[in-house]
Amino acid sequence: MIKAEVYITLKSTVADPQGLTVKHALESLGHRKIADVRMGKIVTVELDVDDKDKAKKQLDDMCKKLLANPIIENYRINLQ
């Protein structure tokens, strides 16, 4: 069994309205020295395989086909 976390974030060239909203909210709470906030998501996946290379390939395929939008998002896979 291999557990993985997939971190998905918007590409730096893509505007992040949710991050901007959070930044403004934090500033209104008194946190004035925030340069930028970018939001993302983490997807946790458990695979019933033992080979880390196979797991990485499967996760990469999952990201390209469903979990991430490769046009506007980057993803990083962390196997545990």
φ, ψ at 44 (rounded to 5°): -100, 130
φ, ψ at 23 (rounded to 5°): -60, -45
Query: What pLDDT score was predicted for residue 79?
Result: 97
Convert the pLDDT of each residue in 16-27 to its tens digit.
999 999 999 999
pTM, two decimals, is 0.86
- For the record, the structure tokens of 13 come out as 């060239």
Biggest alpha carbon distance in the chain?
48
Which CATH fold would you assign to the domain 2-79?
Mth169; Chain: A , (3.30.1280)
Query: What pLDDT score was predicted for residue 32?
Result: 93
The three-class DSSP label of residue 33 is coil
The three-class DSSP label of residue 38 is coil
- For the record, the structure tokens of 10 come out as 């918007």
Convert the pLDDT of each residue in 30-71 to its tens digit.
999 999 999 999 999 999 999 999 999 999 999 999 999 999
